[in-house]
Amino acid sequence: MLSPPYDKYEKLYVYHLDATDLPPVPSEDLIGTWIEDGNPILFFHRPKDQLISDLCREHACRLVYQADLDYSDWEAGQEIAPFEVEGLSVAPVWHEAPADITIDPSVIFGSGFHPSTRLCLETLLKYYSTPEVDIESMLDLGTGTGLLAITAAHLGIRRITAIDNNPLACDVARKNILLNGYEREIDVIMADLRQDPPETIVDLVVANLYHTLLAELFETPSFWQAKLYIVAGFIPSMEDQLLAALPTRKVRMLERRRNDRWCLWVLSPVID
């Protein structure tokens, strides 16, 4: 995340270590620590070869790989800039013009530029404004930057739980929620959805997740307790696996949407 003396991202210096239980790294140049399969991936604004060498020696670990890249390359070559969807404006923290929502995207998925996140954002706006749909509570699975949860709070949804299994994502989401003033409306929880399935007695579930995790959730009966589901994070070649996991007699598909090669489904449980 951004903290003084930095007010924007330019270069990323990335170090992947095979350490476990690495203590906090004391550096003002640290952007954050991403945990992947139990191992830390450290992101810095500046090169930190000596610091990493010292950490490896002190904690008996080794450097698996390192890289340096432009921030736009981390974002698939896209510059993070303000955008608007259906009258809702979103801007990064370093942009001076006013916006409805301001976020620090850090190095976390869900800044709104990926087609999957954009699909979720557009669909959330659409269904919230549909007269027949009354959404007062929401569960945001795989919250990332917290953008979708913050959008929900901005629309007027007052009970929102945002879940992610990445500690850095949870920290970034909490920062963005505080930045936008929605800490009363949104709770952020770090959880592994496979080990700790969420309570879905809410009006809306938004799940922008890996297709394999979606398939597992689809096959969990307790997952289908909400009134409406927006699910995304998959491409057409993955849909057969998801359809096979979907309890078609209990769930109906209201809409299928697509942006680029990414897909989104809107689902609703069948009321007996």
Q: Which residues pair with 12 in a beta bridge?
A: 69
Per-residue pLDDT band for 9 (boundaries 50, 70, 90) equals: very high
Closest Cα to residue 138, out of 90, 187, 171, 105? 187
- Do the beta carbons of residue 115 and residue 260 sit within 8 Å? yes
Inside any domain, residue 5: no
55, 112: one domain: no
127, 188: one domain: yes
CATH number for the domain spanning 232: value is 3.40.50.150
- Do the beta carbons of residue 40 and residue 17 sit within 8 Å? yes
243, 177: one domain: yes
The pLDDT of 15-32, averaged and rounded, is 92
Q: Among residues 22, 54, 74, which one ends one of the domains?
A: 74
- The more confidently predicted of residues 24 and 149 is 149
- Do the beta carbons of residue 43 and residue 14 sit within 8 Å? yes
Inside any domain, residue 84: no
What is the distance between the alpha carbons of residues 181 and 115, in angstroms, rounded to a whole number?
A: 26
Domain that holds residue 261: 102-269
Question: Distances from the Cα of 158 to the Cαs of 148, 150, 181, 224, in angstroms?
Answer: 13, 10, 12, 21
Inside any domain, residue 255: yes
The pLDDT of 179-192, averaged and rounded, is 96
Is residue 78 scored above 80 in pLDDT? no
107, 237: one domain: yes
118, 224: one domain: yes
Question: Distances from the Cα of 6 to the Cαs of 11, 28, 31, 97, 204, in angstroms?
Answer: 12, 9, 10, 19, 37
3-state secondary structure 156-187: CCCEEEEEECCHHHHHHHHHHHHHHCCCCCEE
Phi, psi of 126 (to 5 degrees): -65, -50
Q: Among residues 37, 56, 74, which one ends one of the domains?
A: 74
Q: What is the mean pLDDT of the chain?
A: 93
53, 151: one domain: no
Inside any domain, residue 109: yes
pTM value is 0.94
Is residue 84 scored above 70 in pLDDT? yes
Inside any domain, residue 147: yes
Inside any domain, residue 56: yes
Per-residue pLDDT band for 225 (boundaries 50, 70, 90) equals: very high
**What is the predicted pLDDT for the residue at 132?**
80
User: Which of 105-114, 146-155, 214-223, 251-260 bottoms out in mean pLDDT, i.e. has the lowest?
Assistant: 105-114
Structure tokens of 42?
A: 């450290």
Q: Among residues 57, 74, 91, which one ends one of the domains?
A: 74
Inside any domain, residue 2: no
Terminal Cα distance for the chain, rounded? 47
Is residue 229 scored above 80 in pLDDT? yes
Query: Exposed, middle or buried: residue 10 (CB in 10 Å: 0-12, 13-18, 19+)?
Result: exposed
**What is the predicted pLDDT for the residue at 110?**
73
136, 228: one domain: yes
Per-residue pLDDT band for 76 (boundaries 50, 70, 90) equals: low
Is residue 97 scored above 90 in pLDDT? no
44, 161: one domain: no
The pLDDT of 100-124, averaged and rounded, is 90
115, 236: one domain: yes
User: Which of 15-19, 89-93, 109-113, 148-152 bottoms out in mean pLDDT, i.e. has the lowest?
Assistant: 109-113
149, 67: one domain: no
- The more confidently predicted of residues 124 and 131 is 124
- The more confidently predicted of residues 260 and 104 is 104
Q: In total, how many domains does the chain have?
A: 2
Per-residue pLDDT band for 73 (boundaries 50, 70, 90) equals: confident
Is residue 272 scored above 70 in pLDDT? no
Inside any domain, residue 91: no
Closest Cα to residue 214, out of 193, 195, 237, 196? 193
Structure tokens of 167?
A: 């500690």
CATH number for the domain spanning 30: value is 3.30.70
26, 153: one domain: no
51, 168: one domain: no
**What is the predicted pLDDT for the residue at 141?**
97
